[in-house]
Structure 1
Amino acid sequence: MATGHDALREIFVTGLRNAHAVEKQALSIMTPQISRIEHYPEVADRLRLHVDETNSQIARLDEILAGFDTSASALKDTALSMTGGMAAITHSVAGDEIVKNSFANYAFEHFEIASYKSLIVLAEDGGFAQAAPLLKQSLDEEVSMARWIDESLPLVTRRYVQLYAEAGSMEAKV
């Protein structure tokens, strides 16, 4: 039977693998969005920055996992990347794609925030001190992105309405 510390370690490593897969999923959601955006350059620019942050988050998770003599789950990474890609495709057919993507990105950022908060608790409670600062850095980036989406949603919505009124939904969508 596993000790409390062994169980906490196992849960923590599983959480790290899950977070890694979620970050891969985030890339598969954001990358197609960036390639499609035409009329919302500030959104494309912020997504590009967050792609870079996400790649850094993946590297930090890899570093933490290596400290436990393990690595990410290729199966989880692949599965969540595929679902992220399908989500991106689903929104691409919507007339209000940019608005739907903004809603989904906002929700996804909060999912990631919750994940990192939980991992930080596990790191602190498990005595995995080396992981906490790396996880906090990723948490701060996710909070910043969620805040940016929150603050930019009125601008995106208003620009969508303006473009829709001027040229129709197909022109306004991205």
Structure 2
Amino acid sequence: MTIKTIEDLFIHELSDIYSAEKQLTKALPKLARASTSPDLKEAFESHLEETQGQVERIDQIVELLGIRLKRIKCAAMEGLVEEGKEVIDGVEEGPLRDAALIGGGNKVEHYEIASYGTLIALAKQLGYKEAVPLLVETLAQEKAADEKLTMLSERLSTQTRAEKAA
């Protein structure tokens, strides 16, 4: 796709994150199954529900603005999903795998945070007032998911240290 205008860029970025969210809806159940921590499993499962809502919000934006998404595959998310598969296949089940899955989850959230931040800025420049609150809502969810994963990581490392000391 040739990007010549700010609107082209907005459509490209929205198409990219739509692909990313769709890929994530397929990956999150696998991550949940691979988790041994009940809290981590729950975090991935609840984020799946949020992600499905985020896809619906993108559909709303497309309808509100009367635009068409491009059929592209988000290469960044494809790589992050592949990293998750490598963790599942290459790290023995347990706290170490959970820690690696949390790290991968944080990477995903940071990518999404950057994407939605960019989309909000572009939507504001384009005067897409109806789209901004929908994008802001999703950005807030991504930030909350990142924070939840970070807290789980800290709790997991504290538990691991306590187990080693015992």
> Structure 2 length as normaliser, TM-score?
0.82
Q: CA deviation at 1:130?
A: 0.9
Q: Which amino acid aligns with 1:137?
A: E
Q: Which amino acid aligns with 2:154?
A: P
Off by >6 Å, runs of 4+ in structure 1: 162-166
Q: Which amino acid aligns with 1:41?
A: P
Contact 1:24 1:80 in 2 (8 A): no
1:55 equivalent in structure 2: 52
1:126 equivalent in structure 2: 126
Map 1:76-95 → 2, pairs under 5 A: 76=73, 83-92=79-88, 93-95=90-92
Percent of aligned pairs sharing the same letter: 22
1:19 equivalent in structure 2: 17
Q: CA deviation at 1:22?
A: 1.6
Q: CA RMSD in A?
A: 2.4
Q: CA deviation at 1:152?
A: 1.7
Q: Distance in 1 between matches of 2:27 and 2:164?
A: 24
Q: CA deviation at 1:108?
A: 1.5
Q: Distance in 1 between matches of 2:16 and 2:114?
A: 12
Q: Distance in 2 between matches of 1:35 and 1:119?
A: 32
Deviates more, 1:133-142 or 1:79-88: 79-88
Residue 163 to residue 83, structure 1, CA distance change in 2 (3 Å): farther
Q: Which amino acid aligns with 1:76?
A: K
Select which of 26, 33, 36 maps to 2:34. 36
Q: Which amino acid aligns with 1:30?
A: L
Q: Which runs of 5+ in 1 are unaligned?
A: 1-5, 167-174
Contact 1:113 1:143 in 2 (8 A): yes
1:146 aligned onto 2:146: yes
Q: How many residues align?
A: 158
Contact 1:24 1:81 in 2 (8 A): no
Residue 107 to residue 49, structure 1, CA distance change in 2 (3 Å): same
Q: Which runs of 5+ in 2 are unaligned?
A: none
Q: Deviations over 1:106-163 (max 9, x none)?
A: 1221111111111000000101111100000000000101111112212122445667
Contact 1:28 1:82 in 2 (8 A): no
1:101 equivalent in structure 2: 101
